[in-house]
Amino acid sequence: MGRITLENVQKSFGDVEVIPPLDLTIEDGEFVVFVGPSGCGKSTLLRLIAGLEDVSGGEIRIDGKPATDLPPAKRGLAMVFQSYALYPHMSVRKNIAFPMKMAKVPEDEQKRRIESAAHALNLTDYLDRRPGQLSGGQRQRVAIGRAIVREPAAFLFDEPLSNLDAALRVGMRLEISELHTRLATTMVYVTHDQVEAMTMADKIVVLRAGHIEQVGSPLELYRSPRNLFVAGFIGSPKMNLIDGPEAARRGAHTIGIRPEHIDVSTEEGVWHGTIGVAEHLGSDTFFHVHETGLAETVTIRADGEIGLHHGDRVYLTPHPDKIHRFDEGGLLIA
């Protein structure tokens, strides 16, 4: 079981309020991702849940029981740190065994859990090495192994993949997702990378300056961002935001249209412009179109093998039902 509720949780460091009072419920078995730009308070929020920071106000409940004043060890949560925080002088086996040793789990049970974690995480051949002799990805897996053997009510991850190279990150992303499917344990995952959030989450919590901007499933956030911030943050490449007469014509202060919702043609369309940079990814091509009179650049996604290049004059047509309209305050106009 791992249902975590935050009620009016607030955190200040001295005079600086990092997390204004917020409410949030994390359901049992859910994969929740906190996403937001650097410094927005994601780690702080996670550490409040873990008990590594004391709340300045509000209540934290885990499975309905008050946990606000419980020390970290008593909350039944396991955390994977950005730096992995492995114990450098202990072998992988001892690292993984450490929480069980502290909990006085019987020897043979310890052994069984280590074996099964090592097997699941492909660490069997490395059990007797020190963390210093492992690659980044392997260290990451040891840190996860150390969390798994505690059989926690929920896992907390703080940007666990940010120290890995791109290829490894994709692999580990899958492994963590698979782990979640297999264990069906609550996971709270912090990242600043919206791709990680979109690919892994059941529920995304978008944070800005400690505020929750929107909570929802990846597709909900993609389809109906509640405000300009979420609209600009979720989705890659970013949504095109256009203001001025073109927006006013549609009764909005700003309109947003995603690159994949604009058709490109060499003959006719609503807007026109000149292709600046063309990014050929093979499967897709991204064009940065200039001189449209709408915004500095309009990004569009087109077919991978479309025969257009830098300097070509093109016509653009947005899908009318995919245009998001925002008012002066940046809120979505329903």
Ligand X SMILES: Nc1ncnc2c1ncn2[C@@H]1O[C@H](COP(=O)(O)OP(=O)(O)O)[C@@H](O)[C@H]1O
Chain residues binding ligand X by CB under 6 A are 13, 18, 36, 38-44
Q: Would you say 40 or 105 has its CB closer to ligand X?
A: 40
CB of 326 to other proteins, least distance (A): 40
Q: Would you say 193 or 246 has its CB closer to ligand X?
A: 193
Of these partners, Mg ion, other proteins, ligand X, none, which one is at the site of residue 38 (CB under 5 to 8 Å by kind)?
A: ligand X
Does residue 98 interact with other proteins by CB under 8 A? yes
Does residue 85 interact with other proteins by CB under 8 A? yes
For other proteins, the binding residue among 9, 32, 79, 262 (CB under 8 A) is 79
CA–CA distance, 67 with 64 (Å, rounded to integer): 9
CB of 102 to other proteins, least distance (A): 4
CB of 83 to Mg ion, least distance (A): 11
Of these partners, ligand X, Mg ion, other proteins, none, which one is at the site of residue 169 (CB under 5 to 8 Å by kind)?
A: none
Q: What would you report as the CA-atom Rg of the chain, rounded to the nearest whole angstrom?
A: 23
- How is the beta sheet containing 65-66 ordered, strand by strand? 16-26, 4-13, 57-62, 65-66
CB of 40 to ligand X, least distance (A): 4
Of these partners, Mg ion, other proteins, ligand X, none, which one is at the site of residue 150 (CB under 5 to 8 Å by kind)?
A: other proteins
Q: With CB under 8 A as the rule, give the number of residues binding other proteins.
A: 24
Which residue number has the CB closest to ligand X? 43
Does residue 77 interact with other proteins by CB under 8 A? yes
User: Which residue type sits at 126?
Assistant: Y
CB of 267 to ligand X, least distance (A): 47
- Report the site for other proteins in 124-143 (rule: CB under 8 A): 132
Of these partners, Mg ion, ligand X, other proteins, none, which one is at the site of residue 41 (CB under 5 to 8 Å by kind)?
A: ligand X
Q: What is the dihedral of CA 75, 76, 81, 87, to 10 degrees?
A: 110
Of these partners, Mg ion, other proteins, ligand X, none, which one is at the site of residue 146 (CB under 5 to 8 Å by kind)?
A: other proteins
Of these partners, ligand X, other proteins, Mg ion, none, which one is at the site of residue 40 (CB under 5 to 8 Å by kind)?
A: ligand X
- Report the site for Mg ion in 38-67 (rule: CB under 5 A): 43
Per CB under 5 A, residues contacting Mg ion are 43
Per CB under 8 A, residues contacting other proteins are 50, 52, 71-73, 77-79, 81-83, 85-90, 98-99, 102-103, 132, 146, 150
